[in-house]
Amino acid sequence: MLKLSAKAFYEICEHAKRAYPEECCGIILLKDGMDIVRPCTNIQNKLHAQEPNLYSQTARVAYVMAPQEMFYIFKEAEENDMRIKAFYHSHPDHGAFFSEEDKNQAVPWDEPLHPNCVYIVISIYNNREVKDVRAYTWNHRKFVEIPIDKFSMNR
């Protein structure tokens, strides 16, 4: 089960609404029991414009997190005794399933890049309404869905 603060849940859903009709993406850090959301820039459209044969999809159906932003988030986590809790992204006008492309990004070889992290997918539709949010984790062979427990924090 993924325990996610109500504040973090709200923040990732709002990020998906702002990014619509394109996919949003980001990272959730954990520090002393507190979830910290770090939205990232989706550079998929930029890559598609530069290399359309290599990056055939646009940000409406794909995402690539800006590498420099990821570097700084990982550095922030390392320097401040935080851990990477989850990666999140949205599926505009589609369900909150873990797609084949999502699997390929998370597991480019035989093992996931971040085996202890959860992957969150936000389903958002044309009126910027979040329809569903689901979480997935690696179980040593494949990604499986796990429930999300939203909790409030009084800090």
Tell me if 84 is assigned to some domain: yes
Q: Which two tokens stand for residue 2?
A: 């993924």
Tell me if 60 is assigned to some domain: yes
Q: Which two tokens stand for residue 155?
A: 């800090």
How much is the pTM? 0.94
Q: Any idea what the CATH number is for the domain that residue 43 is in?
A: 3.40.140.10
Is the N-terminal amide bond of 21 cis, ω within 30° of 0? yes
Name the domain count of the chain.
1
Tell me if 98 is assigned to some domain: no
According to the model, what pLDDT value does residue 154 have? Answer: 44
Tell me if 70 is assigned to some domain: yes
What is the per-residue pLDDT across 59-85, written as a single tens digit (0 to 9) for each?
A: 999 999 999 999 999 999 999 999 999
Tell me if 44 is assigned to some domain: yes
Tell me if 48 is assigned to some domain: yes
- Residues spanned by the domain of 66: 2-92+104-115+122-151
26: Cβ contacts below 8 Å, ≥ 6 apart: 12, 15, 37, 38, 39, 40, 65, 87, 88, 89
3-state class (DSSP) for residue 59: coil
